[in-house]
Amino acid sequence: MVLVISPEIETAEEESHPTVDKVVKLITNKGGSIDEINRWGKRRLAYPIKHFIEGEYVLTHFKLDPNLTHELEASLKLNEDILRHLLIRPGS
């Protein structure tokens, strides 16, 4: 899953990100497991989203029951700090 997080959320590069921590908690509370989290840092957006021209990109690899992904996506849409998200299933 790739998340584009609002650039207004300021954190140091070494510290955990509060929005990412919330997403990790959502996944683990539903019985999922986190394999890897890669912070790509702030990047320029291809087009403005909610009046932002930059966003912090985070790539997360995790395992979760496919039946629970709709609940996860609904929670991501409600989080105002997440500008966009893309959830895909890796190819087999």
On whether the CB atoms of residues 62 and 33 are closer than 8 A, the answer is yes
31 conformational bin, left if phi > 0, alpha if psi -120 to 50, beta if neither: left
pLDDT of residue 14: 54
Burial letters 40-67, b for 16+ CB under 10 A, else e: eeeeebeeeeeeeebbbbbebebebeee
Mean pLDDT by 10 residues, the chain (92 residues): 89 71 95 95 94 95 94 94 93 64
pLDDT at 3: 96
Q: What is the pTM of this model?
A: 0.87
Please report the pLDDT score of residue 17 as a whole number.
83
- The per-residue pLDDT for 57 is 95
The pair of structure tokens assigned to 79 is: 């989080």
pLDDT, residue 69, reads 92
CATH number of the domain located at residue range(s) 2-84 in this protein: 3.30.70.60
pLDDT of res. 31: 94
Are residues 85 and 69 in contact, defined by beta-carbon separation less than 8 angstroms? Answer: no
